[in-house]
Amino acid sequence: MSRRLCASADLAESSLGVRFVLDGATNGFVVRFRNRVSAFVNRCPHVGTELDWQPGEFFEESGLYLVCSTHGAIFEPDSGKCVAGPCRGASLEPLQVREREGQVFLEVEPGSAIKDESITR
């Protein structure tokens, strides 16, 4: 089962990400890096806070890494692995996404708690 997240054009390279609701209490996000889309649960593995300091602001200044707004942990945008900061070696929780026909879809397993709710930016 798939859930549409956004149009492919909504994700510029190493720029704003798109936030979305997973289960009512948890958000996810999707970004584009090296022309591929990646999605993660929006929760830092160190303290559990959301990464973005403003809605959709996940990349640090250079556009090479995702950064946690709470304590500055640095994550690889394609794998979610923390490469610097207090949670070094831990990873963001990945979500499976696919891009097809100009749209980005979250792949949802049947019976999942993930809801079909509106996208937030």
Residue 4 is encoded by which pair of tokens?
A: 């549409």
What average pLDDT does the structure give for the chain? 91
Q: Is residue 63 part of a domain?
A: yes
Q: Domain of 15: which CATH number?
A: 2.102.10.10
Distances (CA, A) of 76 to 73, 100, 101: 10, 23, 26
pLDDT value of residue 105? 98
Distance CA 66, CA 50 (A): 12
Look at the chain and report how many structural domains it folds into: 1
pLDDT value of residue 109? 76
Distance CA 57, CA 54 (A): 5
pTM recorded for the entire structure: 0.90
Q: Is residue 45 part of a domain?
A: yes
Domain that holds residue 92: 2-111
